[in-house]
Amino acid sequence: MPAKRALYQFTSLVLVVSLVGPVALAADFWIEKAYDHWSAKETDRMLEESPWATTLSLGSVQTDITSGDRPTNTKYRGEMETNPTISYTLQFRSAEPIREAQVRSFQLKSHYDAMSADQKAAFDANASKFLAVKFPDHVVVAVTFKTNVQDYEGVLRAYWGRQNLATLAMSTFLDAGKQRLSLLEYSVKENTFQFTFPRPQQLNSNEKIAVEFIHPKVNVIGQQRILQEFNLKKMQVNGQPVF
C-alpha cells in the first residue's frame, strides 16, 4: 500500500537508536515546540518512552551461575556474566509524533545544520512527503528487540524471521476498547518487526489501546504473552487521540 511504501522509504534511512529503560518524562515538549526544535534527548524519549512508544524488559535469574550445571560450556559464558535480558521497544509508527521523531533523529544524525542550502531543501522535501502520509484505515506498530546476550539475538532474529500472517494470526492483536483487531500485515527487517492492523472505530478517549503478541522462549527467558497498554488520553494531539 502507498502509505507503507512511503513509511519504509524514509525509515530505511533512519538509524536505529539505542534502547534504554523507562525514564521520567519532562513536560510535553511535543506540544510546546515544533519537532525540528526537539533536542536529541527529547527525540530519544519520544521514540522510546512516550505516550506513543514504550520499552519493556524481560529477564530471568540465571541459576546456572552457581549451580555448576555447565562448568565447561563456553556457549553460555556471556549470559553467565550478567543477568540475561531481552527488551522490546514498541512504537506507533502511524502516529505523527513518532514519525516526526524519526525525521528529527535522522536530521540530528545527518548534521542538518551543517548542510548546504540544496542539501537542506532535498532533506526537507523528503521529510515533508514522509510526514504528509496519512493512515486513515490502518495502524502500524513497529517492535524492535535488543538483548545483552549475543546468542539470544540470533535466536530472536531467526524466530521473528520465520513468522508470517498464518503463524501470528491467533496470538497477535490490537485491543482497542471492546474491539480485538486481527493482524493485516507483517514484515521484519533485522531486529525490527512490524505489525499492521485495521484502524479501530469510535474509541472513547478514556479507553486504552493495547498491542498483544507472544514472546518466544529463549533459553532461560521463558515464553510469555506481551500485552502492552497505551493510554488514549495521553496520546492526544489537538484534542484528538493520535495513533
pLDDT band at 201 (very low <50, low <70, confident <90, very high): confident
Distance between CA atoms of residues 113 and 219, nearest Å = 46
Comparing CA positions, the residue from 101, 56, 19 lying closest to residue 221 is 56
pLDDT in tens, 15-59: 333 333 334 344 588 888 999 999 999 999 999 999 999 999 998
Give yes or no for residue 171 having a pLDDT over 80. yes
Rounded to the nearest integer, the mean pLDDT of the chain is 83
71, 157, 220, 225 from 68: Cα distances, Å? 5, 29, 15, 31
pLDDT band at 14 (very low <50, low <70, confident <90, very high): very low
Tell me the average pLDDT across 154-161. 96
Q: Which residues, other chains included, contact 116 with Cβ-Cβ below 8 Å and sequence gap of 6+?
A: none
Q: Strands 192-198 and 208-215, how do they pair? A: unpaired
pLDDT band at 75 (very low <50, low <70, confident <90, very high): very low
Distance between CA atoms of residues 144 and 191, nearest Å = 6
Tell me the average pLDDT across 66-70. 35
Distance between CA atoms of residues 174 and 185, nearest Å = 12
- Domain boundaries in the chain? 2-241
pLDDT band at 106 (very low <50, low <70, confident <90, very high): very high
Comparing CA positions, the residue from 15, 9, 7 lying closest to residue 106 is 15
Q: In degrees rounded to 5, what are phi and psi of residue 28? A: -75, 80
Sign of CA dihedral 214, 219, 222, 226: negative
